[in-house]
Amino acid sequence: MHATMKIIGMTCAACSARIERVVAKVEGVESVSVNLATEILNCDFDDSKISVDTVKQAVEKAGYQWAELVKKGAVDEDKIRKENEIKTLWRKFKVSAIFVIPLLYIAMGTMISWISAPVPTVIEPMAYPLNFALIQIILVIPILIAGRRFYYVGYRAIWLRSPNMDSLIAIGTTAAIIYSLYATVQISLGQLAYVESLYFESAGVIITLILLGKSLEAVSKGRTSEAIKKLMGLAPKTAIVIRNDRESEIPIEEVVPGDIILVKPGGKIPVDGVVVEGTTAIDEAMLTGESLPVEKQTGDKVYAASLNKNGAIRFRATKVGSDTALAQIIKLVEDAQGSKAPIAQIADVVSGYFVPVVFVIAVLAFAAWMLSGQSLVFSLKIFIAILVIACPCALGLATPTAIMVGTGKGAENGILIKSGGALELTHKIQTIVFDKTGTITEGKPEVTDIVTYGGNERIKILQMAASAEKGSEHPLADAIVKGADQEGIELLAGKEFEAIPGQGIKVRIDNDLILIGNKKLMEVQNIESEHALKDADRLAGEGKTPMYIAVNHKLAGMIAVADVVKTSSARAIKKLTDMGIEVVMITGDNSRTADAIAAQVGIKRVLSEVLPQDKSNEVKKLQAEGKKVAMVGDGINDAPALAQADIGIAIGSGTDVAMESADIVLMHSDLMDVPTAILLSKHTIRNIKQNLFWAFAYNVTGIPVAAGILFLFGGPLLTPMFAAAAMSLSSVSVLSNALRLKRFKAQH
């Protein structure tokens, strides 16, 4: 069984690592993953051994107050909670800022020569040292109250033997406060020298800067999930339902399958369904990317969140709530944003041991400076600076934030990437296998050429052919009938229809005997057609299927039908080739047709006459060559190959089975989205590597500087206040770098 939980209260990567360790130890848990950026826990477990409550208890045991099972439709609640969290953090920061400014002024005013305005005489440190100390205590108390959560969470984590970032902040600022209180007591006893040993302002500034960093971090994290919010905002909140011949507007949650729903012009479709009355044009750009409205009539499907343009319709609800196409898209994006990429494992391992190691380093540095002869105050500064600057936040946010923005950017462009692993692997693809029908081609045969003989007119040939073929169920016959319909040609009544297996058809129209079929039909019927052989060869060489048309045993014309190539196919394949990726086409068609289509789009390697069940074996053969292989397809028969490939890419207009088997779904059915997906993967992984590099580099350089390595060689000493500013900026910089992915542009 799978459970998805929202964890409240995580502050850094050490928190997520702790939860993963504790939950993984529960007997019956098969896998667990915690995403710091989304605050989501994904857990697979054996429900015959444990329940969801067992997992929740394990989360509580890890030191977190509560976790809730993520419910369908709970997005608005989560959005409100995040907005409230941001408001609370900003409010706490403002409170602490209001008090820290005078605190810093009073504490540092007499020491900084460029501050011209002196402090009031009544709190002048040399004249009234006790007042000087007491006013600082009064000012720091509201700051400590604003940052009380750091102490509650930090010390609780230490008690549970899983220290985190809050623990480092709590210990560091507590040390500064306790020593300052000790100095205040000494001042009251007449030891006036202790007036220079007050560090209330250090604790106050540290907490204020970290609250600022947390506020900026929360805002940035909110921006990483904007794609989800946009998708959520597409769905209407209410629907007009007709029950017992009465119209009533009800919340969308109350719509059930089978309800008849009325949608007026300009209204949004509330759920998926099938039109039962009326005609209209519907804008489905949010699903398909197609800018032109799609004509809808009785029997046609409609989808939630699409826009009804110009006609009132009634439709029967077929899929509601989490079953709608939009809800499935949202779930795919949410699952991807909540997943972890393999590259994140490095940060996870480091974060799990980071905080205890930092604490040990801080203690050792404190002891070393004390033994070297430095004062307690100096050594305490070193101790506090190390604890404050060393934060695993940046490490924990490096990967998930980039994945959130990357998958969100993909969703904006109609590219649904199902997992962080798929996003990471896609940029390594060396060979892409394209299915032909419905992927490179439209999958809908069309009339492409009409050749006439014996003085016959083009319109007459098409009319004769369509009138004869309207009784046939063959896909090519359907293409001819549609071709005549598109040109507004009136069909004639036919009789004595006869299908001739392997050759074509025979039918009588207005006393004329019409024969339509292949070269063999002409030969069997003794119809002279040698003069048309050149045309037939030319059309076949172009990947088209030529059909001879004879009227009263004389060749009258030839109609070519082909599954036309998508307009984007050649551009996409050229782009992939330019990127150094090998492109292969796979099809069940004969080699001549397959080679002709491949030549049109610039594909050099063709696997033709491949049976549906053998497509996955062909992918295996390519993988056996040592290549990372992606498969692009749209049909049920592509599903095994999509699953076999390292990355399966399904065309959004294809079947549910194909999309279920794939790692990436292209909602726009535009092959230019294939190179876009690969480039998006490259940009995202590069962004993750940048984030990890700077997060590691920050800590590798920051901790020695805080420990006084520069001071040892005559350089400056890093004060706790600057350490706090640097720590806050590290997380914000990682998030800002991830947000640069929002500038990524799709290929066209």
CA distance 560 to 658: 30
Which residue is associated with the tokens 């848990």? 29
Band of pLDDT at residue 679, cut at 50, 70 and 90:
very high
What percent of the chain has a predicted confidence (pLDDT) above 70? 87
- 435, 589, 646, 670: the catalytic one is 435
Tens of pLDDT along 46-84? Answer: 888 888 888 888 888 887 766 565 554 445 566 677 778
435 is catalytic: yes
pLDDT at res. 10: 80
Q: Is the pLDDT assigned to residue 732 strictly greater than 80?
A: no
Q: Which of 51-60, 313-322, 485-494, 650-659 comes out lowest in average pLDDT?
A: 650-659
Pairing state of beta strands 280-283 and 307-308? antiparallel
pLDDT at res. 519: 86
Q: Is the pLDDT assigned to residue 726 strictly greater than 80?
A: no
Q: Is the pLDDT assigned to residue 262 strictly greater than 80?
A: yes
pLDDT at res. 125: 81
CA distance 705 to 699: 10
Q: Which residues pair with 607 in a beta bridge?
A: 586
pLDDT at res. 63: 77
pLDDT at res. 594: 82
Instruction: Please give the full DSSP string across 566-627, using - where no structure is assigned.
Output: PTTHHHHHHHHHHTT-EEEEE-SS-HHHHHHHHHHHT--EEE-S--GGGHHHHHHHHHHTT-
pLDDT at res. 70: 54
Q: Which residues contact 522 (CB under 8 A, 6 or more apart)?
A: 515, 529, 548, 550, 555
Pairing state of beta strands 629-633 and 647-651? parallel
CA distance 397 to 380: 30
pLDDT at res. 72: 45
Please give the average per-residue pLDDT across 712-725, as a whole number: 78
Q: Which of 130-139, 211-220, 329-338, 399-408 comes out lowest in average pLDDT?
A: 329-338
Q: Comparing 430 with 120, which gets the higher pLDDT?
A: 430
Q: Comparing 577 with 62, which gets the higher pLDDT?
A: 577
Instruction: Give the 3-state secondary structure of 102-161.
Output: HHHHHHHCCCCCCCCCCCCHHHCCCCCHHHHHHHHHHHHHHHHHHCHHHHHHHHHHHHCC
pLDDT at res. 228: 62
Tens of pLDDT along 279-320? Answer: 888 887 666 555 567 788 888 888 888 888 878 899 999 988
pTM: 0.70
pLDDT at res. 367: 93
Sheet holding 280-283: strands in order across?
294-296, 280-283, 307-308
pLDDT at res. 113: 44
Please give the average per-residue pLDDT across 36-52, as a whole number: 83
Q: Comparing 612 with 153, which gets the higher pLDDT?
A: 153
Question: How confident is the prediction for the chain on average, in pLDDT?
Answer: 82
pLDDT at res. 114: 45
Tens of pLDDT along 536-573? Answer: 888 888 878 888 999 988 998 999 888 788 888 899 99
For the record, the structure tokens of 665 come out as 């779904």
